[in-house]
Amino acid sequence: MVSRRQALALGGCAACLPWVARPSASEADLDDAFFYCDTPQITVLGVGEENFSAAGQIDDTGFGMSSALLGSDDYGTATRALRWTASNTGLSRNNRPLVLIGFVDGSASEHDSVKTIAQAWKVPSIGLDFDYSNDLKETHIQISFTGGVNKSKTGIEALQFRGQATMWLPDVRKRPGTTASRRAILHEFGHGLMAFGHEHRHPDAGYRFRPAAEIAQIINSSLPIGASPWTSSMVETNITNAPYAASRACTDYDVKSIMHYPVATNWLITGTPVPDPSTTISPLDVKCAIETYSN
């Protein structure tokens, strides 16, 4: 069986399912062990920043980039080819590219929550800096607190949506001050700011999954009432597709990465389940960010 919190999360998975109302549960129960899934990421193989935008267009789900042009893996990692640079932001601070972040909606307390928690990514050794602006005409990443699920464009994908939301953090509004809210902010900043993908796709993760149809049946048996069922295709895209290329791994496999998905025991033939993915940035997350933003 999928655990209750897994069912809650899978019922609102942004990459594959529409938001549905979750069953009633105490905030403490949800906060104790909560996860979610979000926007799929793109691996860019051999495509530099200078010709990225010419290679294809991203649609508003993040799926629109041409795989033929980019050699992309929708659920791989996206690091240097999607990273922010002084040339694509037009700004720098202390010899580091500067990314400006704005809010398209939200209260002052919601803004403050993001600013406080995202501060964890402000590591001096990472070759990137970020700040906030009230002028959406000059920001590079725009955050909304609306919608049903947490998701983000990856790195410089956001430049195609100036003035529009490129990151969504509804858990900050729905679950203020919780571990779920904290994980959402740190995870989505990993996508939007650090241009990270998902760690469960690491080539050394060692997962061999059951057939997609079996996993779909397992998931669907425990979904909340009213949730849309998963199809085999959804499972293949979100869970069972092959790992990304070893050349894209910027650190050893990191089960403690803020970018790791949950992996349920009964999805696996071999491999170690991850029922409780991290809610903090790991040392290897920082190491990968340093490598991503090194010259």
Identify the pLDDT of residue 79: 63
Read off the pLDDT band of 40 (50, 70, 90).
Answer: very low
Instruction: Give the total number of structural domains in the chain.
Output: 1
β-pair partners for 68 = none
Please tell me the predicted confidence (pLDDT) of residue 144.
98
The pLDDT tens digits of the residues spanning 114-134 come to 999 999 999 999 999 999 999
Distance CA 212, CA 232 (A): 5
Nearby residues of 28 by Cβ (< 8 Å), 6 or more positions away? none
**What is the domain range of residue 192?**
4-284+288-292
Between residues 3 and 183, the one the model is more confident about: 183
Question: What is the maximal distance between C-alpha atoms in the chain?
Answer: 53
Q: What is the CATH number for 99? A: 3.40.390.10
For the chain, percent of residues with pLDDT exceeding 70: 72
Planar angle of CA 226, 237, 249, nearest 5 degrees: 135
What's the pLDDT at 83?
92
The HSE-up count of residue 174 (CA atoms within 13 Å, CB side) is: 21
